[in-house]
Every structure is written in C-alpha cells, then in structure tokens.
Amino acid sequence: MQDPHAIRDAFTERFGVRPRMIVRAPGRVNLIGEHTDYNEGFVFPIAIDRETFVAARSRPDTIVRTYTSQFGQEDSFDIGQIERSPDHLWANYVRGVVKGIRARDLPITGADLLISSDVPIGSGLSSSASLEVAVGYAMQMLNNINLLGEELALIAQGAENSFVGVQCGIMDQFISVLGQENHALLIDCRDLSYRSLPIPPDVRVVVCTSGVHHNLEKSEYNERRAACHEAVRLLKARMPKVSALRDVSPRDLEANADLLPPTILKRARHVVTENERTLNAAAALERADLVSFGRLMNESHVSMRDDYQISVPEIDLLTELACAVPGCYGSRLTGGGFGGSTVSLVTISAVDRFVTEVGTRYKAETGRDADLLVCRPSEGVSRTTAV
Ligand code: ADP
Ligand code: MG
C-alpha cells in the first residue's frame, strides 16, 4: 500500500505548492472469461488493491505538467494542441485521456499531476488502464465535470486505442472505474451492462507472474480473432442470425461442427464454452459456491490450453502447482496468453503456504522466479481523503 501523504509531499516538493487532491484507480485481474470480449461475450474481473495514485492541482493556464515517479520523468503539453509525445511513451496515456475529455467539449484548465503506482507494469494487471482512469478522474474532479463512470471508462479506452495505439477491449477501464470492494464485476461486452457479485471475505485472489513473455502474443492474438470471425461466417450457413460467437451455445456448435475445419472448431469451442463457464461462475458466486467456481476456473484453463492453445508449459506448471496446494479452489491462465500470469482462488488460511510452495516449486522446476501477489477485490476509482 502506498502512502498518500508521501505522494502529497512529493507533489509539493516538485511543484512548489500542495496538491488540491489525490485520486486513485486500481489495476485488475480477470477471474474467468478469456478471449470472450471480442466475441461480444462475458468477462468477470476484480479490481485489485494495487493502484495508480495521481496527486493533482489546477493551473491558471492551459499547460498540463505531469511527473511520473515510476520513471522519474516529466512531460508537459498545452491542452489547446495535443499531439503524441515524441519523447515518452508513457506520456501518451496522459495526453490521450486529456485529449478525449477535450474532444467532448468539456471545459478544462491546465493542471500539475504527479503519478505514483504500485501496479506492476507489463504484468497483465493493467497498469495502463489504472493510469488512464486515474488521470481522467483527476481532471474530472479538478474541473467539476460530471461524467458517468461508463463515460470515463470509454474516454480512457479511447485514449489507449486511438492515441497510444493499443487495441484493448473495454474490460480494464470498466473495472478500474466501476469495481466495488469485495466484489467481482460480470460485464456483458455486447451491451456493456454489468453486475457486481460479492466475493466471500475468507478467500484471496492470488496472481502469479510466470516471468515468461513470448512476442508471439500479437500475431497469435490476431490469428485467434480471425478464427472466431471465420467460425461465425461458416456457422451463418445454417444459423443466419448469428452475428458473434456470443450467439452460439455449446450445443449449437457441436450440432453444426461439420461446417467448421478442425482448428476453427477448437477455437470456437473455447469461446462458446468459456461464455457458458463465465455465466455459471457468476451463478456459483451468487450461491457463495467457491468449489464450483474453482472447478470452472480449472476447466477454463484446460480449454485455453487444449482448444484455444494459448498457454505455455510454465503457465501450465503454475496452475498445477497451485491446484496441488490444499485450500486452492482453482487456477488458470489470465490475460492474452503465451506467458504472463495465472490467477488462483485460495482460502485465506492457506495463502501463506500457497505463496511459499508455489514460489519454491516453480523456482525448483524452471529456475525462474514467480512473483506472487495476494490481492483483495477493491473499489474502483475514487478520491482519497489525503490532502
Ligand atoms: P499493463 O499490462 O501493465 O497494462 P501495458 O503495456 O498495457 O501493460 O501498459 C504499460 C505502460 O503503461 C507502461 O509502459 C507505461 O507507458 C504506462 N504506465 C503504466 N503505469 C505507469 C506509471 N505509473 N507511470 C508512467 N507510465 C505508466
Ligand atoms: Mg495495459
């Protein structure tokens, strides 16, 4: 947990005045519902207690000055003319969000911003969305702008899509804005409706980073998207109303399996079963049935490993080591795949043992260090009481 008072002092030292406010926005992890977003299906993330803080103060002019403690770098731009930064990639997340607010004709002035985050960068916990959302919220609060949570999320996503140039879905920004303490958020990626469901207090969500990153990720991602698209096109021959795999049930798929080549069939099978699992997982959580929830997580992993084929041996090993620890309900790859992290649901009394055993055995078998982050489901973006 970062200390907001230290962030306040860092701001004061840097900008010569105290900040007017400090806001925070969380990173996230997806519990189940992988590669369903671009098939207009369901995702089920939590916001985690790793967050980006932004200390902020309005300026009387139109300049936005931003300092990030992460890289010890400063950026400065005029809100009247916002271009991509030639110097710092990170600055574009900030510029893109401010540009998105400006594009909606919302009246804003310049600001001094200081960023400080304990969301691990590039580990699949969405440090980028937490940065965008925190910056957007700070600008909103400084300028007394009324934005719905959904609008803020869309501005943040728009910044990442069109200004930074990363084609992410809406999940990360949505959960960073709308997450609720001790709840997971079931999001329907077709119409963006959502529902918060409580997570029992006696479990923790543990993220294990594998330390493996394959640069295959982007090309393989495009291949998977294309396969889903092709599956829809072929299924339309008999099911003309289908516009996305979201509209296909596992039973429909098997009944029409003869329409699809074997690889396309496997890809589609992952997506349609994953949608069903995600809805079943939400129903299980409603009954506080963690055993069923964990089983669905394990089935999700098998589906990603065998049908979607996006896992790697290190990730499979992490899930096996996790499930071997008594008190672990389930474990699966989370995120795009080809490395990255796993997510596991662990009863609170077993968490210490889980962290030690999974970490030690992973190191013994692979020589790699897994980073194990024990997370609680946290609140979405908010203003802190510091300052
Ligand atoms: P992630 O999975 O963590 O979201 P991304 O590659 O999508 O990984 O986003 C990481 C990028 O977001 C960083 O390279 C940096 O440009 C930006 N970023 C995230 N957190 C910060 C921060 N605290 N300060 C500055 N830039 C940040
Ligand atoms: Mg990101």
Ligand 1: does its nearest atom lie under 6 Å from the Cβ of 131? yes
**Alpha carbons 85 and 77: distance in angstroms, whole number:** 9
Q: Is residue 361, in this structure, part of any structural domain at all?
A: yes
Ligand 1: does its nearest atom lie under 6 Å from the Cβ of 126? yes
Q: Is residue 231, in this structure, part of any structural domain at all?
A: yes
**Alpha carbons 28 and 325: distance in angstroms, whole number:** 24
Q: Which of 152, 168, 198 is the last residue of a domain?
A: 198
Range with the poorest average pLDDT among 20-29, 77-86, 149-158, 207-216: 207-216
What's the confidence (pLDDT) of residue 122?
Answer: 84
User: Per residue in 155-190, pLDDT tens?
Assistant: 999 999 999 988 888 999 999 999 999 999 999 999
CB contact at 8 A, 363 and 369: yes
pLDDT of 216 strictly over 80: no
Question: Residue 224 is encoded by which pair of tokens?
Answer: 């998977």
One domain, residues 165 and 287 = no
Q: Is residue 385, in this structure, part of any structural domain at all?
A: no
One domain, residues 122 and 102 = yes
- The ligand with the least distance to the CA atom of 156 is 2
How many Å is the Cα radius of gyration of the chain? 21
What's the confidence (pLDDT) of residue 331?
Answer: 98
Q: Which residue has the tokens 């804005």?
A: 177
One domain, residues 175 and 207 = no
Ligand 1: does its nearest atom lie under 6 Å from the Cβ of 237? no
The phi, psi pair for 13, rounded to 5°, reads -65, -40
* Neighbouring residues of 159: CB distance < 8 A, sequence distance ≥ 6: 92, 93, 95, 96, 97, 99, 100, 132
pLDDT of 214 strictly over 90: no
Check which CATH number belongs to the domain holding 340 and give it: 3.30.70.890
* Neighbouring residues of 316: CB distance < 8 A, sequence distance ≥ 6: 301, 305
| pLDDT average, residue stretch 256-273 | 98
One domain, residues 328 and 267 = yes
Tell me the CA–centroid distance for residue 324 and ligand 2, in Å. 31
The residue range of the domain holding 213 is 203-375
- The pairing of strands 63-68 and 111-117 is parallel
Ligand 1: does its nearest atom lie under 6 Å from the Cβ of 121? yes
The phi, psi pair for 191, rounded to 5°, reads -115, 5
**C-alpha distance from residue 264 to each of 209, 229, 233, 245 (Å):** 29, 9, 11, 12
The percent of residues in the chain predicted with pLDDT above 90, rounded, is 93
Ligand 1: does its nearest atom lie under 6 Å from the Cβ of 265? no
For a mutational test of ligand 1's pocket, the pick from 93, 215, 221, i.e. the residue with the most ligand atoms closer than 8 A to its C-beta, is 93
Question: Going by CA atoms, what residue is nearest to atom 15 of ligand 1?
Answer: 90
| pLDDT average, residue stretch 262-291 | 98
Q: Is residue 349, in this structure, part of any structural domain at all?
A: yes
Check which CATH number belongs to the domain holding 122 and give it: 3.30.230.10
Q: Which of 198, 229, 250 is the last residue of a domain?
A: 198
User: Per residue in 55-113, pLDDT tens?
Assistant: 999 999 999 999 999 999 999 999 999 999 999 999 999 999 999 999 999 999 999 99
Longest Cα–Cα distance of the chain, Å, equals 69
Question: Going by CA atoms, what residue is nearest to atom 26 of ligand 1?
Answer: 90
Q: Is residue 289, in this structure, part of any structural domain at all?
A: yes
CB contact at 8 A, 12 and 19: yes
One domain, residues 114 and 150 = yes
Tell me the CA–centroid distance for residue 56 and ligand 2, in Å. 23
One domain, residues 271 and 156 = no
One domain, residues 39 and 182 = yes
One domain, residues 222 and 171 = no
Question: Residue 47 is encoded by which pair of tokens?
Answer: 């916001």
**Total number of domains in the chain:** 2
Measured in residues, the chain has a length of 387
User: Per residue in 371-383, pLDDT tens?
Assistant: 999 999 999 999 9
Task: State which amino acid sits at residue 244.
Answer: A
What's the confidence (pLDDT) of residue 73?
Answer: 98
Q: Which of 163, 198, 233 is the last residue of a domain?
A: 198
Nearest Cα residue to 138 out of 156, 159, 158: 156
Tell me the CA–centroid distance for residue 347 and ligand 2, in Å. 28
One domain, residues 271 and 368 = yes
Question: Going by CA atoms, what residue is nearest to atom 4 of ligand 1?
Answer: 126
Range with the poorest average pLDDT among 105-109, 212-216, 322-326: 212-216
CB contact at 8 A, 304 and 332: yes
**Alpha carbons 53 and 113: distance in angstroms, whole number:** 10
pLDDT of 123 strictly over 90: no
Q: Is residue 380, in this structure, part of any structural domain at all?
A: no
Ligand 1: does its nearest atom lie under 6 Å from the Cβ of 165? no
What's the confidence (pLDDT) of residue 361?
Answer: 98
Range with the poorest average pLDDT among 121-130, 215-224, 367-376: 215-224
**Alpha carbons 35 and 131: distance in angstroms, whole number:** 23
pTM of this prediction? 0.95
- Active site residues per annotation: 172
One domain, residues 136 and 264 = no
SS3 169: coil
Q: What is the DSSP letter of 263?
A: H
One domain, residues 75 and 125 = yes
**Alpha carbons 268 and 247: distance in angstroms, whole number:** 12
Q: Is residue 160, in this structure, part of any structural domain at all?
A: yes
- The pairing of strands 183-188 and 42-43 is antiparallel
Q: Is residue 343, in this structure, part of any structural domain at all?
A: yes
Tell me the CA–centroid distance for residue 24 and ligand 1, in Å. 15
The whole-chain average pLDDT of the chain stands at 96
**Alpha carbons 302 and 296: distance in angstroms, whole number:** 10
One domain, residues 178 and 213 = no
SS3 374: strand
User: Per residue in 327-340, pLDDT tens?
Assistant: 999 999 999 899 99
Tell me the CA–centroid distance for residue 121 and ligand 1, in Å. 5
What's the confidence (pLDDT) of residue 199?
Answer: 97
Angle (CA) 59 65 67, round 5°: 130
